[in-house]
Every structure is written in structure tokens, then in C-alpha cells.
């Protein structure tokens, strides 16, 4: 077995040193009835080539975004990742290290986390950010929990244009705490002002920017109304590249900004691992969930970095912790940080502009298909169409023409007939003008 260095002779010598007759003897505390007498009913070990063959055969059964033109978004976006990103995150020192609990020999991880926190704070326009969370949806649910702690209130208002998976995660966790969740109905054509839904018992309002249908909304007035009522405004961003083109949520007055960082560095990965972004105003820092990296000095006065404010966390506070989360999404945050460092200010701004331009071109092309209605006045790189018929079979028709042509409403709001004819479509820098033209042509054919 190529991964196991001990030989038969080694094992015999080690048993002799221990004074045990056999390895089985070391398992003597296991109740006899629970000891297996032989291997379980699974295949025996395989060589590297055989494993690669078997798993590659599985991978080959997928028809991925590299072989079809992909216009899928709705919470996960396909962007080109520079080759340097994957090379660097596979460095042994990053890939095979643990949580930086021994800061003297983990300055590499700690320094990039400090850079990551700074990048997230700058992008969102917030004062502080944590070292990342599982993904955007769990970060969003944690933000709601944090709002409950900060305000001591237990009523939560969710925009109808918040990604339905995010809303579902919030509702699932809220059920544990008796939190009242007010879920507004989805508004594919754009949602009105939610100020009227806030009352003196409201802990927070959660909105998405751009929202799940792609609309870009100014929340400045909402932030004022929410804060006027003593509640917090949580803004979720599922496409982080948008922040290269848009006014940051912090500038609109958001109290907490959460996001999905997958778009930079991480890739699609069929949904995970992803990267939860979490930023807030500085005054809430001790109520924040998740790890935080901070600057300090060593015994000789040199700058260094450590994990800090860890008394909020479960390994110290146990049942009084701010959250049960005890990890971050380390390697994904590194990928994000490297990708963003490569882009830099000019690169991110250009990337965002390119995404927007492609989406404008695509929107105009698709809106020109007979029977198709564009529902957005505003958007970044994603928008929603109303089709003359149910969208799910249309998407299958597009697959047959080599196009992943968007996410049908029924996939996100199953069982809701009002969503059946909706199609959420995204374009990124990876979509060429030729692909866009082919998509419009194929859509016209499928709808004909």
C-alpha cells in the first residue's frame, strides 16, 4: 500500500517495544461483538492508475461548462482563474498545513488571511471582515444570528429577491431559535422598498445586491429606515465580481455584508467548497462569528500576525460561543486573495466592466427573440427573462444544442407556478460574442 510506510518487520518490532502480542490486542477495549473479523464488503486497494481510470470515467459522464457555452449564474459564476492561482494554492506549505494555532510557524497563512480580510473590507466598503466562512448562504444565516444577538430581537425580514437557497438556510436555522421569519414574495420584475416591513421588534432586514433576478437596487434609504427602527441591514452579494463595478454596500449604510467569494479563484466545483465572505461595522466585531486574524508584534518587536478575539469561539466559550463554527474556508480564501492580487484595482475594474458589457450584449440579443421579455431595467452580469412557455424544458432544448442556457425558475422555486416561465441568465468574461449569438439563435429555435 503506497501510502503506508510501515513494513511487517517494523510492525513486529513496534509491537515488541509496546509489549503487545498483536495489533488486535491494542483494540481490546472494543466490545468483542463489535469487532469485525474481516474486511467490510468493499473493493480491495487499487493502484494509482486504476483509481484514476475509474474516477475519470465518472467525470467523463458530466457535460461541463468547458464543453458547452455556459450562461449559468444564480449564486455561482464561471470566471477564468489564472493558472498561477492553482499552482500557488497547491504549494505544500499552504495545502498541507493546519489552522494557524502556532503562529510562529504559520505566518504564511496568517499574513494571507490578514490580506484577505483587508480585501473583503475594501470590496464591501466595510470596516472589518473575518477570515471567511463555509459559503455565502451559511455566512448569510450567521449574519442573521448575529443581528439577533446585537439587537436582542427575534423578527427577521427577508427580501423576496434573496436567493431562495439562502432564505431556506436562514429559515432552517431560525426554526431552532423560535425566530420569526417574514419572507417576502419573490418579485421577478424588481422589489419595492421594504421600509414598511420593519417594526420595533425587527432584528434585521436581509436584501441581496444584485438580487437573485439580477436587479441592482440602491439601499441607502432602506438602511436609514432599518437603522431608525433599531434594526440592522444585512446585504448579501452572491457575485463578488459585481463589487468591481458597483457602489459598495458599505457606502449605502449596510451594517453587515455577506457574500459568496467563489467567483474569484475558487471555481464552480458543483457547489463546494465555496467561500463565505463576512464583513461588518467595527463596533460589532465582538459579535462576529468566525475566525479573525490580527496584527501584533513578536518578542523582538517584529510585526507578525495571530488569530485573535478567539474567546468568541466554541473551543473556548463552548456552549456560550457566538456560533458553532470552528473553521474557515482557508484554502479558498487563499485562492480568492491570490486571484484578486493578480487582478489588482485595474484588473478587477476591467473584469467587472467586461462582465457587464457581455451581459448587456446578451440581454439585447435574447430580448430580441420573439416572445421573450427582459424583466430588468438594471443588472450587472445577470438578468431574468420571462419566456412564452415553461423554462425548464426550454433549458433542456438548449442543452441539446450545446448551450447551458440559464437557470429555470422551477429549479429555485419548485412548485411555484409563477416561477415556471422565468429564466435567470448570466454572462461573464468567459462568454464570447459568438457564443452569445449562438445562444440567441438557439433560443429562437427552441421557442419556435
Residue 91 has φ and ψ, to the nearest 5°, of -60, 135
193 touches other proteins by CB under 8 A: no
| Chain residues 138-157 in contact with other proteins, contact rule CB under 8 A | 138
122 touches other proteins by CB under 8 A: yes
| Chain residues 19-48 in contact with other proteins, contact rule CB under 8 A | 19-20, 23, 25-31, 33-36, 39-46, 48
Task: Determine how β-strand 180-183 pairs with β-strand 128-129.
Answer: unpaired
Alpha carbon 17 to its chain's center: 50
The minimum distance between CB 87 and other proteins, in angstroms, equals 8
Alpha-carbon distances, residue 158 vs 70, 180, 199, 282, 372 (angstroms): 30, 11, 14, 24, 29
60 touches other proteins by CB under 8 A: yes
Q: Kindly tell me which of 300 and 448 has the beta carbon lying closer to other proteins.
A: 300
DSSP 409: H
Query: Judged by CB under 8 A, which of 144, 150, 356, 375 binds other proteins?
Result: 356
| Other residues' Cβ atoms within 10 Å of the Cβ of residue 152 | 8
The region of 8-16, 154-162, 194-202, 224-232 touching other proteins under the rule CB under 8 A is 8-16
| Chain residues 258-317 in contact with other proteins, contact rule CB under 8 A | 260, 267-274, 285-286, 291-300, 302, 304-306, 308-311, 313-317
Q: Kindly tell me which of 316 and 418 has the beta carbon lying closer to other proteins.
A: 316
* Residue 406-435 contact track with other proteins, rule CB under 8 A, x = bound: -x---xx-xx-------------x---x--
C-alpha cell at 187: 418579485
Please identify which residue in the block is written with the cell numbers 461548462: 65
The region of 181-189, 199-207, 221-229, 372-380 touching other proteins under the rule CB under 8 A is 372-380
Query: Judged by CB under 8 A, which of 21, 192, 201, 344 binds other proteins?
Result: 344
Strand order in the sheet with 232-237: 128-129, 276-280, 256-260, 232-237, 202-208, 155-158, 180-183
Query: Judged by CB under 8 A, which of 184, 211, 215, 233 binds other proteins?
Result: 215
- What is the rounded CA–CA span in Å between residue 382 and residue 403? 16
Alpha carbon 72 to its chain's center: 15
DSSP 133: B
Amino acid at each position: 500500500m503506497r501510502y503506508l510506510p510501515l513494513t511487517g518487520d517494523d510492525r513486529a518490532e513496534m509491537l515488541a517495544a509496546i509489549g503487545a502480542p498483536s495489533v488486535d490486542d491494542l483494540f481490546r477495549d472494543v466490545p468483542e461483538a463489535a469487532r469485525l473479523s474481516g474486511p467490510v464488503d468493499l473493493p480491495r486497494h487499487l493502484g494509482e492508475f486504476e483509481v484514476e481510470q475509474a474516477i475519470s470515467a465518472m467525470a467523463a459522464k458530466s457535460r461541463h461548462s468547458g464543453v458547452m457555452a455556459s450562461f449559468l449564474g444564480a449564486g455561482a459564476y464561471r470566471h477564468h482563474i489564472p493558472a498561477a492561482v492553482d499552482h500557488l494554492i497547491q504549494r505544500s506549505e499552504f495545502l498541507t498545513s493546519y489552522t494557524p494555532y502556532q503562529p510562529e510557524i504559520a505566518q504564511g497563512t496568517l499574513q494571507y488571511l490578514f490580506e484577505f480580510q483587508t480585501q473583503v473590507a475594501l470590496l464591501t466598503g466595510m470596516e472589518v471582515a473575518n477570515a471567511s466562512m463555509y459559503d455565502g448562504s451559511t455566512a448569510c444565516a450567521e449574519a442573521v444570528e448575529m443581528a439577533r444577538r446585537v439587537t436582542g430581537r427575534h423578527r427577521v425580514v427577508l427580501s423576496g429577491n434573496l436567493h431562495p437557497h439562502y432564505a431556506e438556510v436562514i429559515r432552517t436555522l431560525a426554526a431552532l431559535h423560535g425566530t420569526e421569519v417574514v419572507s417576502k414574495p419573490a418579485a421577478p420584475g424588481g422589489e419595492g422598498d421594504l421600509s414598511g416591513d420593519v417594526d420595533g421588534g425587527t432584528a434585521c432586514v436581509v436584501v441581496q445586491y444584485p438580487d437573485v433576478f439580477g436587479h441592482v437596487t440602491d439601499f441607502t434609504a432602506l438602511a436609514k429606515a432599518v437603522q431608525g427602527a433599531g434594526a440592522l441591514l444585512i446585504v448579501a452579494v452572491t457575485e463578488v465580481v459585481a463589487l468591481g463595478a458597483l457602489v459598495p454596500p458599505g457606502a449605502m449604510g449596510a451594517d453587515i455584508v455577506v457574500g459568496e467569494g467563489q467567483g474569484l479563484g475558487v471555481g464552480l466545483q458543483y457547489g463546494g467548497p465555496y467561500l463565505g465572505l463576512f464583513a461588518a461595522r467595527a463596533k460589532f466585531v465582538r459579535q462576529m462569528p468566525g475566525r479573525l486574524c490580527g496584527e501584533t508584534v513578536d518578542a523582538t518587536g517584529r510585526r507578525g500576525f495571530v488569530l485573535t478575539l478567539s474567546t468568541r469561539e466554541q473551543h473556548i466559550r463552548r456552549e456560550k460561543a457566538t456560533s458553532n463554527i470552528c473553521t474557515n474556508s482557508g484554502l479558498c480564501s487563499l485562492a480568492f486573495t491570490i486571484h484578486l492580487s493578480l487582478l489588482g484595482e485595474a484588473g478587477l475594474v476591467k473584469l467587472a466592466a467586461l462582465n457587464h458589457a457581455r451581459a448587456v450584449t446578451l440581454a439585447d440579443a435574447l430580448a430580441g427573440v420573439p416572445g421573450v421579455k427582459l424583466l430588468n431595467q438594471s443588472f450587472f452580469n445577470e438578468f431574468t427573462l420571462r419566456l412564452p412557455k415553461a423554462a425548464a424544458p426550454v433549458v433542456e432544448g438548449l442543452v441539446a444544442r450545446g448551450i447551458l442556457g440559464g437557470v429555470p425558475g422551477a429549479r429555485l422555486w419548485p412548485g411555484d407556478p409563477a416561477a415556471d416561465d422565468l429564466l435567470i441568465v448570466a454572462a461573464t468574461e468567459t462568454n464570447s460574442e459568438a457564443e452569445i449569438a449562438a445562444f440567441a439563435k438557439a433560443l429562437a429555435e427552441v421557442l419556435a
